[in-house]
Chain A
């Protein structure tokens, strides 16, 4: 317990998350009682809040429990996201390619568990090569570009991309960093939704996502950048990253990459002609509908932080394979 909450930023984030859930419940309750919101909107808000109440413990508890738990949770999340993607795009019918993506995804998370950065980095081009090669012996050139491109894209998002969250867990101070990402990405979505509803105005990209407005996008950028800058200031105190321009860049990237991930999934869904990727989470749709914002945030923020102050530097490497 004391290790889990060793950093005060962890305490703040977990406390603020609980407070936000309570405040949201109160706000919806008050607005409903006053008759300020329509019945369908009220229903949607309660469903979303209910899903958040279930999701937050599933997201936060493994991070608090420890490195291995975090990596296990990220691996399961990646597999669940890939499953939805494969079933939505039809890639699941390509068993060999699908198996190769899953094995690549497991290998990336194993490299994180092993804290073997060389292997981890090598896996991206190696898996892409394997995906390009593996279906050639089937002698079915028709559709080759589509199926291989879909598989490489899948590995990029759910293998190489999301596993950066796993690799972050090798840093002794990983808890507040990962919690910061998980919660601010969620905050980013909520801020965009709320600012869009409150301010309204012109649509952002009506063909891609008809409900998103420019005001929502800018509101999210403002709120998320502010929160990340403030929390980051405490979290990275005494390091180069506590320099204000770095923190603002960090906040901007979380918000912009988060929204880009959301819009990326909207583009995928529009292209396929489907509304949701799944039915697991009431009010949200599939797991991927909820975690789309993390897909691009994870690698981008990992590499920014790693570049500026280093993540996991000085920690023992190759814990399982040895030779580190």
Chain B
């Protein structure tokens, strides 16, 4: 990315406000803490879950792109975040439930400085928030991790994909990479407080191009269906 004489998007926000902001841009400190967290989780996934990655060649050569997957465990997000390498890895932002990850001060600091998550407030997202996410994805060359089911499956079965994804990628030409994670639900279901060891496997499918899909309701439904089918086909 070329150098631009442009202030941080989050300039002028107080520290707490900044951590919860969709405009948050990492500095040296944040880059170091999230880099350490990324390395630690990769090591953990390799040792405790013998993570197996199939189809790595399907990852786009450079960001921006969006990783989507089925969602039944916190391990899903850790697994997807472990996939990109280099510049793409530093650009990973998990779109995480605001009420779960940005509820208290401690979890907010963890979400902002370790997992580098951006908060999504269920039912409270404004149009401006989506515009910010869309703009940042393209301009800042980020990699979003999104679980289109909206929440972790309590049974391990995949739920229906929501149409919201279209508002982020519809018409942008940003590739959407379908992934399917297996073994994560058995290792760490939503009902358990801590994970237990167990094999986790992720299959990465060919990237989907939605540049022709309109950013509207009909476009959203067709995009959600296409994404759901692509993830199901990877099972």
**A and B physically associate:** yes
Also in contact, A90 and B8, with CB within 8 A (given A146-B3, A147-B3, A279-B13) = yes
Min C-beta distance of B167 to chain A, whole Å: 26
Tell me if B8 and A87 are in contact (CB < 8 A). Answer: yes
Give the docked Cα–Cα distance between A90 and B4 (Å). Answer: 7
Binding stretch for chain A, among B23-31, B148-156, B175-183: B23-31
The residue in chain A whose Cβ has the minimal distance to the Cβ of B1 is: A93
| Given A92-B25, A143-B2, A279-B14, CB of A87 within 8 Å of CB of B31 | no
Q: Which of A147, A272, A279 has the most CB of B within 10 A?
A: A279
Contact check, B27 vs A83: say whether CB atoms are below 8 A apart: yes
Verify B5–A272 contact, CB threshold 8 A.
Answer: yes
Query: Which residues of A sit under 8 angstroms from B12, Cβ to Cβ?
Result: 274-276, 278-279
Closest Cβ of chain A to B2, distance in Å, is 5
With known contacts A83-B27, A98-B28, A90–B13 Cβ distance under 8 A = no
Hey, which chain B residues are within 8 Å of A83, CB to CB? 27
A95 to B90, CA, bound (A): 11
Known: A87-B27, A98-B28, A99-B28. A143 touches B3 (CB 8 A): yes
Q: Name the B residues within 8 Å of A275 (CB-CB).
A: 12
Q: A88 to chain B: which residues have CB within 8 Å?
A: 7-8, 11
Any chain A CB within 8 A of the CB of B127? no
Q: Are A90 and B5 in contact (CB under 8 A)?
A: yes
Does A36 make an interface contact (CB < 8 A)?
A: no
Interface flags for B24-55 (1: CB within 8 Å of A; 0: not) read 01011001000000000000000000000000
Q: How far is the CA of A108 from the CA of B62 in the complex (A)?
A: 38
Q: How far is the CB of B86 from chain A (nearest CB, A)?
A: 12
A317 CB–B CB distance under 8 Å: no
Q: Which of A92, A150, A274 contacts B28 (CB 8 A)?
A: A92
Q: Which residue of A lies closest to B4 (CB)?
A: A90
Among B5, B28, B31, the residue within 8 A (CB) of A89 is: B5
What's the least CB distance linking B198 to chain A, in Å? 36
Please report the C-alpha to C-alpha distance between residue A150 and residue B1 in the assembled complex, in whole angstroms. Answer: 17
Chain A residue, CB-CB nearest to B140: A93
Closest to A88 in B: B7
| CB pair B7 A274 closer than 8 Å | yes
- B28:A142 contact, CB within 8 angstroms: no
Distance in angstroms from B89 CB to nearest chain A CB is 13
A264 at the interface (CB under 8 A from B): no
A98–B4 CA distance with the chains assembled, in angstroms: 15
B124 proximal to A (CB < 8 A):
no
A104 to chain B, nearest CB (A): 13
Please tell me if B6 contacts chain A, counting CB pairs below 8 Å. yes
Query: What 1/0 mask marks residues of chain A from 102 to 119 whose CB sits below 8 Å from any chain B CB?
Result: 100000000000000000
Residue in B closest to A279 when the chains form the complex, CB atoms? B14
Which B residue sits closest to A94, measured CB to CB?
B3
Q: Please report the C-alpha to C-alpha distance between residue A143 and residue B14 in the assembled complex, in whole angstroms.
A: 30
Given contacts A279-B12, A279-B14, contact A90 B27 (CB under 8 A): no
Nearest-neighbor residue (CB-CB) of A101 within chain B: B28
Q: How far is the CB of A236 from chain B (nearest CB, A)?
A: 41
Q: How far is the CB of B91 from chain A (nearest CB, A)?
A: 11
B8 to chain A, nearest CB (A): 4
Highest count of chain B CB atoms <10 Å: which of A83, A90, A98, A144: A90
- Chain A contacts with B in 126-150, Cβ cutoff 8 A: 140, 142-144, 146-147, 150
For A94, list chain B residues within 8 Å (CB).
Answer: 3
- Nearest neighbor of B12 in chain A, beta-carbon distance: A279
Q: Which residue of A lies closest to B17 (CB)?
A: A279
Task: Judge whether A92 and B2 touch: CB under 8 Å.
Answer: no
Whether B2 lies near A142 (C-beta < 8 A) is: yes
Contacts of A214 in B (CB 8 A): none
- Is A95 within 8 A of B28, CB to CB? yes
CA of A99 to CA of B11 in the docked complex: distance in angstroms? 20
Task: Let me know if A272 and B7 touch, CB within 8 A.
Answer: yes
- Interface flags for A278-292 (1: CB within 8 Å of B; 0: not) read 110000000000000
- Nearest-CB residue, chain B, relative to A269: B7
A140 touches B2 (CB 8 A): yes
14 contacts between A and B (CB under 8 A): A86-B27, A87-B25, A89-B7, A90-B5, A90-B7, A92-B27, A95-B31, A98-B28, A142-B2, A143-B3, A147-B3, A150-B5, A279-B12, A279-B13
Known: A93-B3, A276-B12. 13 other contacts (CB 8 A): A83-B27, A88-B7, A88-B8, A89-B5, A90-B5, A90-B8, A92-B27, A102-B28, A142-B2, A146-B5, A147-B3, A150-B5, A279-B12
Interface positions of B (Cβ within 8 A of A): 1-8, 11-14, 25, 27-28, 31
| Smallest CB-CB A-B distances: 8 pairs | A143-B3, A87-B8, A147-B3, A90-B6, A92-B27, A142-B2, A143-B2, A88-B7
